[in-house]
Structure 1
Amino acid sequence: MFTSAERRYLRSQFLGRLATVGPDGTPQVRPLGFRCNDDGTIDLGGPWVARTQRYRNVRENPGVGFVVDDLTPDEAGAIRPGMGRGVEIRGTAETLSVDDPPGQPGWRSSDIIRIHPKRILSWHIDPDNPDGYSRNVA
């Protein structure tokens, strides 16, 4: 589902932003810790997840967007130094409880949001394709 460059990039990052839509149509964006799973799903965690508006939003409307990005390092060999790079994931999410949630022990609950990607966009992370990828995966 993810290219090797996308997977490598996602596993090197610790924070992304989840976009959900509330029951009244109001968008909400929140920074969250995450984990990229071997099956191509993304787990989002944190403390008290089931008490959050984003959790309730996902239960009502599972369509989500998730972005992980940063600035390309200004160093030799970097792709487009000083510009943005990242991965955007559009898909559906579900709420569930797991035994091994993402995040730091003591700062996480077993309740998570899991994203099932449908569309993936990436930019400035793969030296073989510096302009990136844009594709449907489901």
Structure 2
Amino acid sequence: MSFTAEEITYLRSQPLARLSTLSADAQPDVVPVAFEFDGTFFWVGGSGPSVADTRKFRNIRAGHDKVALVIDDMVSFSPFIARGIRVYGRAEEPIERTGMVGPGLYTRITPTISWSWNMAGEPVGENWYESRRAVHQIPAGGPDGT
């Protein structure tokens, strides 16, 4: 299973995500990040000399490659309309590439499981939004791929 066309459209419409990594002493760290989604992988990174020393990249380089991303937005408070996608995945060592904010260091994140809710942007009803869970196949050449 993979992302639906509606989920891909949503992912490509959003400029920000929150990325969670885990430090060597097991402290979770969440930061807002610009991201891009190429249809298979998420890319997170940036340019400038200090990017290499960010906590997220230090955590990934230390072997803590399990990450979580949340991409969401609040369409309206009245009526209440929220939507989003939560992704668990594996991050690779940062590499030099040209991405959404220009040339710099980027990590490629391979999604393994995702949950999406309210892609249609409907007001919440009597019950909270149901989520769609997807288990993603790791593509050949991806983390743990063959």
Q: TM-score range by the shorter chain?
A: 0.7 to 0.9
Aligned to 2:45: 45
Identity %: 32
Structure 1 residues 61-117: Cα deviation after superposition (integer angstroms, max 9, x where no partner): 100000001113469xxxxx52321011101001232432222x4xxx521121100
Aligned to 2:119: 125
Q: Which TM-score applies when normalising by structure 2?
A: 0.77
Give the whole-Å Cα distance in 2 for the aligned partners of 1:82 and 1:7. 23
Number of matched residues?
126
* 2:19/2:68 contact within 8 Å kept: yes
More strand by share: 2
Aligned to 1:136: 135
Question: Please, what is the CA RMSD of the aligned residues?
Answer: 2.0
Aligned to 1:93: 91
Give the secondary structure class of the aligned counterpart of 1:57. Answer: helix
Could you tell me which runs of 5 or more consecutive residues in structure 1 were left unpaired when the two chains were aligned: 76-80
**Hey, which bits of structure 1, 4+ residues long, moved more than 3 A?**
none
Give the whole-Å Cα distance in 1 for the aligned partners of 2:93 and 2:100. 14
Give the secondary structure class of the aligned counterpart of 2:80. Answer: coil
Give the secondary structure class of the aligned counterpart of 1:99. Answer: strand
Could you tell me which runs of 5 or more consecutive residues in structure 2 were left unpaired when the two chains were aligned: 122-128, 138-146
Give the whole-Å Cα distance in 2 for the aligned partners of 1:28 and 1:74. 28
User: What is the one-letter code of the residue matched to 1:85?
Assistant: R
